Structure 1
Amino acid sequence: MLKSVDVGEDVKDVQSWLAELGLQKYTLAFVEAEIELADLAYLSEDDLKEMGLPIGPRRRVNEAIRKFTDKTEADTPALQNQSIGDAVSDTSSNLTSNPSADAERRHLTVMFVDLVGSTEMATRIDAEDMRTVITGYQNTVAGVVGRYEGFVAKFMGDGVMCYFGWPRAGEDDAERAVRAGLAIIDSIRTINAPDGTALATRIGVATGVVIVGDLIGSGATQEAAVVGETPNLAARLQGVAGPNQLVLPSETRRLLGSTYKLASLGAQDLKGVGAPVEAFVVDGEAVQESRFAARQSGTLTPIVGRDREIELMLERWALARSGQGQMVIVSGEAGIGKSRITRAVIDEVAKDDHIRITYQCSPYHADSAFYPVIQQLSFAAGFAPSDGPDARLDKLEALLGKDPDTLKLITPMMGLDGTARYGALDLTPAQQRAHTMKILAKLLVEQSQDKPVLLVYEDLHWIDPTSLELLDLLLDTVADQNIMILATARPSFEYGFGGHPIVTKFALNRLGKDQIGDIVAKLTGGKALPDEIMAIIAERTDGVPLFVEELTKTILESGALKEDGVRLVLNGPLSTIAIPTTLHDSLMARLDRLQPIKEVAQTAACIGREFSHGLLAEISLLPKAELTAALDGLIAAELIYRRGLPPEATYLFKHALVRDAAYESQLKEKRRAIHARILTALETDPEIAPEVLAVHAEAAGLTDRAIDLWEAASKAATARPAFDEAISHLAQAIELIEPKVDAGDGSATERALSLQIQLGMTLLVRRGYGASDTIDAFENALTLADIVGETPMRYSVLYGLWIGKAIRGEFSEAWQRAEALVETTAGSSEIVPLVVANRVAAATRMFMGDLAGAEKYLNVAFKNYDPVEHGGLANRFGQDVGVSLYTFAATRSLLLGKTRQGWKYSDEADRIARSTGHIQTICYMLVIRAMFALDAEDYAVVERCVTEVIPISHEHNLPVWYEFAVAIREILAAKSGDRACVQKYLKADAAIAALDTKMFIPQVRIGMARSALALGLRLEAAKLAALAQEMMDQTGETYSLSDLKRVQARIAMADGDSEVAESFLGKALDVARQQGAKLYELRAAIDLARLMQEQDRRDEAIAILEPIHQSIADGDCPEDQKMARELLAELTA
């Protein structure tokens, strides 16, 4: 490397000043004129003309000079009592010790240019000549970079570092960087060193997130520094490039679409870069008919939600085909789908025999006369980069014919000299321009004589003045021809074409929620996304199709999702979804156009997409009048909308992604300070939700405060109830506290244990007792409990693990957990753990068919239960302690043949549940009561319970209780003769299984099998009975095994096989006797006695039925006892 050439602090400041005005392309003019900062006040209109600035830029420069001069004069008094040395010293100190207020996080494309062989050249030529070479090289690079609106950050002798995307972003910074790079290669290769050697460059380009804008150094060495790996990557890729090559990585390649021809150099191991980087060399611009085609790098997503617009355009096409020429202008913001709908129309029109011509306007050539026409003719003629002038003339003749009058005009427009072939033009420039337009219009009309013509103008907002004039001329020309002009434009293009009668203009609207879903489904291959992801996509994309596509692709490529059958589900907690890299540049460009007021947008972005005037005024550092003016500017630029009038006004960012870009462009330190001010302002308002405060506390870096607020937000959400929100809030709190736990903070570990238990209990309610998330939460809590050691919270953990195992039907492990609970709480002075432990132990023994074994635990639980003291604990255990106790006591009493006592327990559970107002408890009680009533054969109660619980559980997203209620409803439906009830039941059964729930499944399957048999659906009944048996074998939940054998006996009887039926009934009796389930024993005895009665085996029947009938106290289960008495009377008659 040669020693850096000092271009001077002032020249650099002029460059920055021009960049802020959006006039980077004139940097070279200022450099060549040796304009320094101090010279600005003296520049005249004639000076600017001499430097080559057009009228518009001259006016902007003059106005900026006036403001700059005014500011300089206003600032001067502040230095009057200070020596110049002191002022410079102070400034230098501030610049080197503190980040500039302008430092930002930016998505930047960095270009590193190196002059090949400069070190060796310096040994061959004179130092002064070498200086001339370097200066010429640097000036050329600076001029090209300015032309493409880049920023020369640093000259390093034979190296130049350039930024695209700062200080002002463009919507296509990566493309601008590559265009600039290729132009630099072409420009430098035309320069020769004094010894005749041709100069060459090598260029590296890379894209990524950086911190840019800090000023480092002082005086002549001051520069805008950039922090991040992107500059190093660009420099290292430059080292991979050969002479006159430009190399870039895959990240930049993705942003370019198909704009350029690229050749892979394979994976490169680059110094200072962690993983190998696939590098690509740019082989030139790809030949594309339109900018839209160049931007595509894969299959087009099918168009959605534009049927009416397409129909309108095709109607206009039909008119054009009949000789009534038309022009249709499709207007809309960037990304709304103008080019996509145009492509759809092109595809439809392609079904007809026609000619299509595409004129693509360009942001880089808005001042280049006839640019879209020249590009189209070059494309149609098949010009190749290697073609010489004669070859291009030959191709033009092949395309347009050999009429010399036509070619005389077309060749100079194409930059070709056709004088030798076609003769010289004898026209003034104005005449030549007018004749050229007429010839172009004539050629268009001639083409339409054979076939109708579709003339597509893409991106009219970038059209050059000459081409616009041509378009005006064409309107009159095509009015009675078979020609339709189809044009796209952004809302900023307001040219009205004089209200021409053949012009139709319409604006594309944003897509609705269903249409957004259609686009997402096409990108996922029809697989459904989680509801929370769909909500994010809808909220952040605002119905802009491009935003929908790119954000969906970003999510799909993030690795956050995994396939689960026909759905995609989250791998874990949802992390922040970044702005798609393909949208970064265009979003920041919208903000950077408003440099003076952008900071207000950034501050407002910290509040959120919606913000109030009052809150912004409270946290903003701007005076009231300046703030109001800035907000008016943002409204005028259509970045925000306003409702109401200040100071009561509220504002909304037009696009959520623009708000995100404004937010993410700020340094974290700056964001933290703003969020702290917001928190301070909001905390005084008691109406502000705790989750809103939590967001700002977390963003401000106030971790402990944020944890408190997230926990408070969870409790408030649970009380509403809004369980999904409660889960999300707890997850946020746990994520924040985990680093403290990892660091060994004991108090934080205890707090984390409490939060983890709360999360488990909330998941238990929302996702289901046996859901993997629920089990994982309690497993994590157990790990924390082991770290904490002795703690009363352990029993809550063990309870959560018990219920998870039990609901999943893992009763062997559930019993181990229950025993551990009983042991843990046996010596405790706290009564609640004792009640809960013994209740779960009793329930476990009952489910496993040990009704006698359950008794001692149930007695302990009832002995210590206090409805007053133990009320209000529903959130700790998923449902109220007393309700759980009474529901299981009811079921056990029923099985023991004490139906009347069972109803008393069930009624008390009903009363307690309703008194709590706790939704989960009420739904739990209603479903268990319905099952109880089903066994008690009181179908009116069953119907009342399911009718009540279905809408409640659906409204509050409690899927376990909803699906169980639906399943029980279908058992009842059989009684009304609904033969479709079995299939409906099986759907609910599958939904329950999908929730990792197996508890209670055998009982409801038995009930459905009985109902199916009553409908005469014998095969379905047998299948359901087999499924019930299979579930019992899997889980060990056998308390209803005797009932299952009764159903299987009835199926056998329906088949006419009394021998098999008797065998099943014998097993039913044996199981019931073994379990002490007197109700099931009595019912099995009744069925068997009736079978024996039919076989005239009366004595055997009496011997079977009478003992169990006598063993049940009169009135304990009146309906079944009545049937037994009547049957015994028949048998003894």
Structure 2
Amino acid sequence: MTEHQQIEAGIAALEAQRGVLGDALVDLAVAPLRARLAALGEAVQPRPEQALKQVSVLFTDVVGSTSLSQHLDPEDIHAIMDGALQRFTVIVQDRGGRVLQYAGDSVLAVFGADEAQEDDAERAVRAGLEVLDEGRRQGEQVLQQTGHAGFNVRVGIDTGPVLLGGGVDAESSIRGITVNTAARMEQSAPPGCLRISHATYRLVRGVFTVAEQPPLQVKGRDEALVTYLVQGVKPRAFRVQSRGIEGVETRMVGRESELEQLQEIFDSLYQQRTLAVVTVVGDAGVGKSRLLYEFENWAEAHPESFYFFRGRAHPQTQTQPYGLLRDVLAWRLQIADDDDADEARAKLCAGVSGMFTEDGEAQAHLLGQLIGLDFSGSPHVRGILDDARQIRNRGFHAAAQLLRLTAALDGSPVMLLLEDLHWADDGSLDFINYLMQVDRDVPMLMVCLTRPALFERRPGWAEVGGAGHARIDLEPLDQRASRELAGVLLQRLDRVPPVLRELLTGGAEGNPFYMEELLRMLIDHGAIQTSGERWQVMPEKLLATQVPPSLTGVLQARLDRLPAAERQALQLASVIGFVFWDQALAALDPLAADALEAPVQRGLVVPRDQTTFDGLREYSFKHQLLHHVAYDSVLKRDRREGHARVAHWLASLGGDRTGEILGQTAEHYERAADPVNACLFYTRAAEHAAARFANEAVLDYVGRALALAPAEDRAIRWRLLLVREGVLLFKGDRVAHDADLDALQSLAEALDDDARRCEVALRRGRAFNSTSDYPAAEQVVRQALAMGGPDGAVAVQLHSTLVTALRVQGDYAGARQVAEEGLELARKLGDRSGESSLINAIGVMAMEQGDLTVAAQSLERSLVLERETGNRAREGLRLNNLGSVYPRLGDYTKARQHLADGLKLARAVGRREVEAGVLLNTASVAHLQGDDASALAYANAAFDAAKATVQPDLEAYARLVAGHAELGLGRFDAARAAYSDSHDRLGALKIRSQQALDPLSGLVRVALAEGKPQEARQLAEPIVAHLTAGGSLDGTEEPLLIPLSCYQALSAAGDPRAAELLAAAHAELLLQADRITDPVARRGFLQLVPHHREISAAWSSLQPTSAT
């Protein structure tokens, strides 16, 4: 140990005993040591370097040490005090601070002395709270060991400029008003408390729970200070970023009414308990972020509690599927993109699963799969990997439920802040739309900040959410407000020259950001000196400054004045993007990352609290416009080289979570004029997006990739067209879809690949089925099967597609044969999904042909398989089918249960087309049970859902059941209108002609109910002719009610053909009953279905009475 170090250690030891020995004795002992230390410094060492820095100063003092010294001997006091100070020192050092001085029982420490960090103030406050905790532990220990109470600690913190180094204390020297203020914070803090100044509070606002204190007078300060007692760390902390010019705390100007509107809407949540949406619209720089900043400040101090979620979009995430949704969840759950996959999944599961009382794990896994975490191995996801739509719908449901359940925890509302919505990806915008619909009854405030460009993509955005959606348009500041803002910005000038005020307001056109940046430009040019407490205007430089006429020009002027190294760093950063990382910048130029500190200090670049990639420091440009200006200043050849290096850096990140940056990587390759890699990464990005049902992203990526793909690269074009085909089919763009199928066909021919030919045939067959062109579907699928090319899952799916086409055309024998062949293949391959589809088809055919036992058994088996594979959407379909077959058996209890479960599932997975079918079958059951009022309500709801999901066949059947309900309610005109509408709709579809007989028989029953037997017989004639000619009723909804209605019409009209019709209906009734082996089920079939009971009664009434 050197003499210098020995003397320092001696001084520290004496200072630690100041509370025991007294100030006078310690000062006397320390004085010669300090003199010797100073002499050594002058003789041997260079004069310590001085630095003016912005730091957070922390003072800690032990309260009660004097009282303890009266009861304890010096050795005990020394042990207690020395031990406490050592522990306090460790806490400070662990938080990145440095202890500069010990004075008796107090400690002076600084944060930011060695290297400034954006969270210096936060770390100082956290250290202060930990010191208080340690002080409480020490107090309890002292009481237990000595029997004396009174040991306590208080802490004070202030943030501001200080002079470090120099003086007699050498590197431990610290001078400035900030030190005095921090000392006053500590001295005035109650024992066991931490007091901070307003300067510190500004930097940690939102992270801690605080209580504002009465103004405090501090020596050396002209005005009383606003201070705060820190009560603890918030459970979900968010830092509110400061705004304005460095060294000038500016208040918001000209937006008071808009702020009041936000505050009133937020306050109303506690009474109205419903969703409120506010979209704040304004051009760049007009003050959207400042309004949100002030609102956050107000909300943070709000006496009522609330749960906070936030997310922000930026240009790089515009084509990242569900990027904004992912940002919201990542912020809330503290997930970083560079977390390893297991850690990221664990964080998601921990934050989501516990919120649900049932299926919590499934909800977390589905939501994680949607936002890009890989849960493909999960039993809840594995079975639906080929159903991107279901993953999207169920992920949406999980996210919406998460917000709903959060609000239900203790009744506190939720605040969701979404910034820069004009940059949001389409998938996230779709989710926000969905959220506005399904969470309308949740106490939640959603604040969306956007530029007007959003309304070009979503013209009806302001109407989504109905009356609960408010729009606030931020107009440029008027002249009065502009002049007021100029005065606020220039508050540190003793006198504001009129020419300077006019300079700030004249060309700004009410844009606050322009005014701030122009002021910064003037400071950069030396026209305004800001080094002292008060600013000074340099008239000659002010007059010589050329003020650009636009904000872009002002920003360019600021960039031009930067030192070359700083300008180069910003230009290279702009190539990476609005958000960038230090290591990415280092990949472009190793020196550039080192030059970032100065742009941060100038307010051009902002360090971000949370980083996309753990282990890297993340930054963003202060404003989008600044990013554009910096990028536009980069030479084209330098841009290309920079984009190439960034692309290689992104591509090298690897891992199993790179899916989210595939599109970003591709764009960098494209800008680097590397079409081969760009095309490859766009293709991978498209496939990744398709797996998450991010359809708009798919179309964008495929379009970009096809524009780059060489014509001769048939393999890559095949992948691209294949992924786009599914999206176009779903969107109903028939022209574009047919063109892609033709292009795929051409590629299959050029590659002379039968497997690809079969893939195209499968997709054509599905498309034909979806448009009810069943003969065309049959033809194309048979051709594919005949060529012998398909194998595996494609072959099974071709069989399933052909079964549908044949069944709907009425070829049950052919459909059953194809189903059995496909079923054998599916079982051989272990294709559980394909097996379930074919068993379901067999069950539906059995139901349509009246073999209800086989139908129920097949559909129950298919349901089991779907539950095993975890495909909840198809599980809902199976439940719906069972809800259709059990009423035919008279088992309404089972039917109701299956339909209730199916409706819950359909809504949970967001499959409204399935919901339409469930509602329709529920209406039928209600009618059969005699509840026609409910039947009508369900039928109308089914019609609306079918119409919304473009299912014309279900629309027709919904009108059929509505006719049944209207007739049951005695409203004959309404029943006639519903049946006629159903008949017309069914007649317009390319399906079996006999299906139009259902509503026609309904019209027969209306005429009978009105007492018009001749009209009823006339209406029944087409049905009678169909039956007499041997026509089938397979596939009709009510194959026994149809002949019963005709019998009743002919019987009422005295037509002798009535008995023959009844005999045929009764024979069919008994035939179907004989197939039911379970006696209970058989009895229900015969006695509990109203028209079955009527057929039996009519038949019995016509039989001769037995002789007695």
TM-score normalised by the shorter chain: which range applies? Answer: 0.3 to 0.5
TM-score (norm 2): 0.45
TM-score (norm 1): 0.44
